[in-house]
Amino acid sequence: MAFLLLGFLVALFLGADNTDGFDRPISFQLIKIASFYNHSWVQNLGSGWLDELETHRWEMNSSTIKYVKPWSRGNFSNKQFADMERHIHLYLVTSTRVIQKNVNMFQYEYPFEIQVSIGCELQSEATSVGFARKAYQGTDLLSLENNSWLPSPQGGSRAQNLCRYFDLNKTFKETIQKFISDTCPHFVLGLLEAGKEELQRQLKPEAWLSSGSSPGPGRLLLVCRVSGFYPKPVLVMWMRGNQEQPGTERSDVLPNADGTWYLRVTLEVTAGEAAGLSCRVQHSSLGDQDIILHWEHQNSIVFILLAVILVLALLAGLVFWLRKLW
């Protein structure tokens, strides 16, 4: 009963049509985060992710699925998703009760958090790898591999107890295996077809150089900012000729409000080492035409701006002085 949702998903999603091929691995996963504050207060959060793009979200107040993208339904009907909402609600209620009933046996201690991830990675239309993982307080407990539950090394006796518990339920294991090997790949192909226009879009990055706060006397912090690109994968490097410079530091790739991405890459050098350095940006939207920004060019722009400002200031002073004479 605790995993009735998975059995329903198998019956619901099988039969989805294949779509056109794709040229890189892509994954889909269902994530559940259950926060157990005490024996009577529990909060369940659920979401669905296509790679790093959120496509579905579980709304707790209404017990409904929120479609984050217009194409999140894939090729499934309203009735299919309405039925799935009811089964998700039942799954969350039942799984919560199972955990509460077995808190001592599972060696859980309030307050605690359980994370569950179930899904698959498609490497081609015909090849996929499924996965199912469970974690406690962010530490891996167990995973399903080759149709067997395996405790994680860091899970200790808690993970071993869980594996023994799950191994007693053969139906549960078969249901999950069916979902990750058959259901999930079909579902991903449906999403890829429905969301093709957005998923295949390409937006070119914009890049610019600046200097950050001085890290110390005689030292510079070179900053290369890249923004407005889609999809997310991007490679940004500080280079000297064809050699990437050691010590390059990259921020996380962060989302912009318009759905594009932003990245900041820095390099600390002495003032004398800055000459000859450049920032190289590689992105799928650019083809083989990388963006290359040279630090000397950046300095030239700064000097030109300073010169313009100085000239304008002198002209303004001259005008002011002439007006006083008149």
12: domain CATH number?
3.30.500.10
Query: Is residue 12 pLDDT above 60, yes or no?
Result: no
Question: What spatial distance separates the first Cα and last Cα of the chain, rounded to whole Å?
Answer: 94
Neighbours of 132 (CB within 10 A): 22
> What CATH number is associated with residue 279?
2.60.40.10
Q: What are phi and psi of 36, to 5 degrees?
A: -105, 105
Q: Is residue 309 part of a domain?
A: no
Query: Is residue 1 pLDDT above 50, yes or no?
Result: no
Residues 178 and 249 in one domain: no
Residues 9 and 88 in one domain: yes
Residues 176 and 32 in one domain: yes
Q: Is residue 322 part of a domain?
A: no
pLDDT in tens, 107-138: 999 999 999 999 999 988 788 999 999 999 99
Residues 65 and 163 in one domain: yes
- Of residues 20 and 215, more confidently modeled: 215
Residues 171 and 243 in one domain: no
- Asked if 275 contacts 269 with a C-beta cutoff of 8 angstroms, the reply is no
pLDDT in tens, 23-80: 678 999 999 999 999 999 999 999 999 998 999 999 988 889 999 999 998 887 888 8
Residues 181 and 211 in one domain: no
Residues 57 and 175 in one domain: yes
Return the bridge partners of 325, or none: none
pLDDT in tens, 99-108: 999 999 999 9
Q: Is 241 left (phi over 0), alpha (psi -120 to 50) or beta?
A: left
Residues 138 and 236 in one domain: no
Q: Is residue 300 part of a domain?
A: no
- Asked if 267 contacts 280 with a C-beta cutoff of 8 angstroms, the reply is no
Residues 169 and 232 in one domain: no
Q: Is residue 33 part of a domain?
A: yes
Q: Is residue 326 part of a domain?
A: no
Range of the domain at 77: 4-199
**DSSP state string for 51-66:** TTEEEEEEETTTTEEE
Q: Is residue 229 part of a domain?
A: yes
Query: How many domains would you assign to the chain?
Result: 2
Q: Is residue 313 part of a domain?
A: no
C-alpha distances (whole Å) from 320 to each of 59, 316, 317, 324, 326 are: 65, 6, 5, 6, 10
Q: What is the mean pLDDT of the chain?
A: 86
Query: Is residue 167 pLDDT above 90, yes or no?
Result: no
DSSP 100: H
Neighbours of 259 (CB within 10 A): 11
Residue 149, SS3 per DSSP = strand
Residues 46 and 164 in one domain: yes
Q: Can you say whether the dihedral through the CA atoms of 49, 54, 56, 59 is positive or negative?
A: positive
Candidates 78, 59, 53, 30; CA nearest to 184 is 30
Query: Is residue 277 pLDDT above 90, yes or no?
Result: yes
**DSSP state string for 296-311:** HHHHHHHHHHHHHHHH
Query: Is residue 278 pLDDT above 50, yes or no?
Result: yes
C-alpha distances (whole Å) from 73 to each of 15, 69, 169, 247, 321 are: 15, 8, 31, 45, 71
Residues 222 and 174 in one domain: no
Token pair belonging to 199 = 């998923």
Return the bridge partners of 140, or none: 135
Mean pLDDT is lowest, of 7-21, 57-71, 171-185, for: 7-21
pLDDT of residue 16: 41
pLDDT of residue 9: 46
Q: Whole-angstrom Cα distance, residue 117 to residue 98?
A: 18
Token pair belonging to 165 = 């518990």
CA 308 to chain centre: 44
Q: Whole-angstrom Cα distance, residue 264 to residue 262?
A: 7
What does the pLDDT average to over 158-173? 89
Strands 26-36 and 128-136: unpaired
Residues 150 and 253 in one domain: no
Query: Is residue 325 pLDDT above 60, yes or no?
Result: yes
Candidates 213, 231, 253, 235; CA nearest to 292 is 235
Q: Whole-angstrom Cα distance, residue 58 to residue 307?
A: 57
pLDDT of residue 322: 63
pLDDT of residue 298: 57
Q: What is the CA radius of gyration of the chain?
A: 27
Q: Is residue 305 part of a domain?
A: no
